[in-house]
Amino acid sequence: MVEVQHVTKRYGSLTAVDDISFSVERGEILGFLGPNGAGKTTTMRILTGYLPATEGRVRVAGFDLFDQPIEAKRRTGYLPETPPLYPEMTVAEYLQFVARINSVPAGDRQTLIGSAMERTSITDMANRYCGTLSKGYRQRVGLAQAILHNPNVLILDEPTAGLDPRQIIETRRLITELAGDHTIILSTHILPEVSQTCQRVVIINRGRLVAVDTPDNLTARLQGSQTLYLQIDTQGADPIPTLEGVAGVVGVTPADERRGVAAYHVDCGSATDVRRELSRVVVENRWGLLELRPLQMSLEEIFLQLTTEDAAPDTLEASSLTEADNAPVAETEAHADE
Amino acid sequence: MSNILALAQKELRSYFMSPVAYVVLGLFAVLFGVFFVASINLMVQLSMGQFGAGGPQIVNINEFMIRPLLGNTAVVLLFMLPMLTMRSYAEEKRSGTMELLLTSPLSNFQIVMGKFFGAMALYTLMLALTLIHIGVLFWYGEPEWAPLLTGYLGLLLMGGSFISIGLAISSTTKNQIVAGVTTFAILLLFWVINWLGDASGTTTQSVLAYLSVLEHFDDFSKGVIDTTHLTYYGSFIAIGLFLTAKSMDRERWSG
């Protein structure tokens, strides 16, 4: 549905987006993740045809953005970072205007506007002026504007920014609902959002693609070995020698102590699952098994690892690329592999 | 076409939702009224034969009243129309709505035409206000129709030229004041450019005179429709709109 091939964007000597390629399938939700100033917004602006790429090609719904921009834009809905509202229009008038510039036939306008307002729960705001709306409502009117003409592709730049927790949940639900018949690309720097809504994640840092994968795979891939969290009641005995004797266990370290019961981190090789063997040993020793679970690396940790690891001093000169946020970032493991 | 109409309506609406339309319409009406009264006084004095010999005489109202009045109006427009166009692009860039327009299925040409027609609609309204005064003339006198019609056609074309240049300049900057002042300066330059030619050779003189934007208006107010002048204003508008569309592209590329 969306194909991005070797897209580069330069501003003079500044490279904001550097040779990015990825593609999104129909009905998929792709999360665009990166620190502030990583090039997320620039990439999205290229995908929507607002900015032309310096190099590379973008195809949206089968139309080349450079050769047939009107056709491609007709099939794209876009919520920019700041919702593009006209303060002097009421919400209903604004959506009417958006419908007209998107060439929605006159007969369909009211139905589509009504359903867009309903889906974003702004129906009771229809007669308010856009300029008087709160941040959360502005964001939702922006979203209504993007989904209004039923585009094949939805590009949302931080759709939940400025919303309160309840609205965030509603918006995420809406995005998941829309995914069926729309292809969605959303950018965010809120990590739980990605693991909750996206099927695939693109991590971008300093304008470069760092990783493209499912959240689960990313988690698994970065976890060289597996660590289990084990809490057992040994009634005073030291279980470490016994546990280390279990086949597949590499090492055992005391973790924490809860209500007087000790817990341990059990490191094991990535290939074998030692949980069955471990629980058998625990039971045979007549210890009380309270908890046994794999320790997952959270997306936060992956993200930090991908965007901060192997900070090389020679990449620091590129720091002017990051606009506002000076996240301590540099070359990453995944990119260095390429 | 429906897209262009939607854009033009949006433009007109935003003029009326901000003070711009009211200030421009109001001030223009006041200034036109002052010029109108002044021209009437002048004509009355003329017809009384106060200048030179001969006592009371019949004075052609078109020649001695309407023509100078429209000429003065043209100068007022030179000052006022930059105020209509200075915010056209600046405001959209500042509020981020340019991003909406440029990511919608609209061509640059459509966006430019929408803005042009929006400003033209307000400008036509300004001219329509002056018809009240002209109506007074018809009530008390017998002016000729034809030179009035051509005069207003000339005003429309000239105003269109001012607007198209104003749009082109507005599209290059985010700053309204810069857009307004630059437009005004360039229009002024096109007004006085023939003064440069006075002392130079005949070819230069005629070229500079041809470029002068007010020079071409004179024939319209006399009741003459000359293709030279139609071509001049037509190409002025076309070049202005073309430059605007191109400048929108340039803005995107330089980002």
CA–CA–CA angle A79, A82, A88 (5° rounding): 100
- Interface contact flag, A70 B105, Cβ < 8 Å: yes
The pLDDT of residue B240 is: 95
Same domain, A196 and A233: no
Task: Say yes or no to pLDDT of B57 above 80.
Answer: no
How many Å apart are CA A331 and CA B99, to the nearest integer? 32
The range of the structural domain enclosing residue A273 comes to 224-294
What pLDDT, on a 0 to 100 scale, did the predictor assign at position A331?
A: 35
Q: A158 and A278 in one domain? A: no
- Give a yes or no: residue A45 inside a domain: yes
Report the CATH number at residue A264. 3.30.70.1340
**In the predicted structure, residue B128 carries a pLDDT above the cut 50:** yes
| CB contacts, 8 Å: B106 with chain A | 70, 73, 101
The whole-number pLDDT of residue A224 equals 55
Complex ipTM: 0.86
Nearest residue of chain A to residue B15 (CA atoms)? A88
Assess whether pLDDT exceeds 50 at residue B151: yes
**A89 contacts B6? CB cut-off 8 A:** no
Long-range contacts of A329-338 (CB under 8 A, 24+ apart): A329/A35, A329/A38, A329/A205, A329/A206, A330/A206, A332/A205, A332/A210, A332/A306, A332/A307, A333/A305, A333/A306, A333/A309, A334/A210, A334/A211, A334/A306, A335/A208, A335/A209, A335/A210, A336/A310
CATH (domain of A10): 3.40.50.300
Domain that residue B216 falls in: 2-254
Task: Indicate whether B220 pLDDT > 50.
Answer: yes
Q: Judge whether A26 lies within some domain.
A: yes
A101 CB neighbours in chain B (<8 A) are 3, 6-7, 101, 104-106
Q: Name, in order, each residue with C-beta under 8 angstroms of A292's C-beta and a sequence gap of 6 or more.
A: A228, A229, A230, A231, A275, A278, A279
Task: Select, from the ranges A29-38, B24-33, B203-212, the one with the highest average predicted confidence (pLDDT).
Answer: B24-33
Query: Do residues A228 and A180 share a domain?
Result: no
pLDDT at A221: 62
pLDDT reported for residue A279: 85
| Chain A interface test: which of B13, B100, B250 (most A C-beta within 10 Å) | B100
Burial A29-41 (b: 16+ CB within 10 A, else e): bbbbbbbebbbbb
Q: HSE-up of B229 (CA within 13 Å, CB side)?
A: 23
Residues A71 and A8 in one domain: yes
CA distances from A53 to A44, A49, A61, A68, A184 (A): 11, 9, 18, 15, 21
- A87 and B95 within 8 Å at the Cβ level: the answer is yes
CB-count burial class (<10 Å; 0-12, 13-18, 19+) for B165: buried
Residues A53 and A14 in one domain: yes
Q: Examine the fold and report which residue of A220, A235, A270 is the final residue of a domain before the chain moves on.
A: A220
| Beta strands, E only, A146-248 | 153-157, 183-188, 200-205, 208-213, 226-233
Please give the residue of chain A at the shortest CA–CA distance from B114.
A101
For residues A188 and A210, give the distance between their C-alpha atoms in angstroms, rounded to a whole number. 15
Task: Give the model's pLDDT for residue B90.
Answer: 85
Is the pLDDT at B38 greater than 60? The verdict is: yes
Same domain membership, residue A266 and residue A178: no
Instruction: Report yes or no on A320 lying in a domain.
Output: no
Q: What pLDDT digit, counting tens, does each position of B232-253 carry? A: 999 999 999 999 999 988 877 7
A313 in any annotated domain: no
In a domain, A316, yes or no: no
Query: Are residues A206 and A228 both part of a single domain?
Result: no
Contact: B10, A102; criterion CB under 8 Å: no
Does residue B153 have a pLDDT over 60? yes
A156 lies in some domain: yes
d(CA B24, CA A248): 84
- pLDDT in the model for residue A271: 60
pLDDT of chain A along its 338 residues, tens only? Answer: 889 999 998 888 888 888 899 989 888 899 888 877 788 889 999 999 898 888 899 999 889 988 899 999 999 999 998 899 999 899 999 999 999 999 899 899 999 999 999 988 899 999 999 999 988 889 999 999 999 999 999 999 988 877 888 888 888 888 888 887 889 999 887 777 777 788 888 888 888 888 888 877 776 666 556 778 888 887 777 888 888 888 778 788 887 777 777 888 887 766 667 788 888 888 888 888 888 887 766 666 667 767 665 443 333 333 333 333 333 333 333 343 33
HSE (CB half, 13 Å, CA atoms) of A95?
A: 32
pLDDT tens track for B155-189: 999 999 999 999 999 999 888 999 999 999 999 99
Strands A288-294 and A226-233: antiparallel
Question: Tens of pLDDT along B185-201?
Answer: 999 998 888 777 666 66
Q: What is the pLDDT of residue A223?
A: 58
Among residues A327, A321, A323, which one has the least CA distance to residue A303? A327
From B20's Cα to the closest Cα of chain A, the distance in A is 13
Q: Do A67 and A11 share a domain, yes or no?
A: yes
CA A171 – CA A177 distance, rounded (Å): 10
**Residue of A165 and B110 predicted with greater confidence:** B110
Alpha-carbon distance A147 to nearest alpha carbon in chain B (angstroms): 12
Q: In which element (H, E) is residue A88 found?
A: none
Total length of chain A: 338
Token pair recorded at residue B21:
């339309």
Is residue A67 domain-shared with residue A168, that is, in the same domain? Answer: yes
What beta strand segments (E) does chain A contain? 2-11, 14-24, 29-33, 55-60, 63-64, 76-79, 153-157, 183-188, 200-205, 208-213, 226-233, 249-258, 261-268, 288-294
Q: Three-state SS for A150?
A: coil
Judgement on whether residues A56 and A12 belong to the same structural domain of the protein: yes
Q: Looking at B86-216, list the stretches that DSSP marks H as alpha helix, in order from N- to C-terminal side.
A: 90-95, 97-103, 108-140, 145-170, 176-192, 202-211
Distance (Å, whole) CA A237 – CA B135: 109
Number of domains making up chain A: 2
Is there a single domain that holds both residue A68 and residue A158?
A: yes
Distance, in Å, from the CA atom of A206 to the CA atom of A322, rounded to the nearest integer, reads 7
- Distance, in Å, from the CA atom of A299 to the CA atom of A221, rounded to the nearest integer, reads 12
Residues A71 and A163 in one domain: yes
User: How far is CA A317 from each of CA A257, A312, A328, B49, rounded to the nearest angstrom?
Assistant: 46, 10, 12, 83
A91 assigned to some structural domain: no
Q: How far apart are CA A100 and CA A41, in angstroms?
A: 26
Evaluate whether residue A130 is within a structural domain. Answer: no
Report how many domains make up chain B: 1
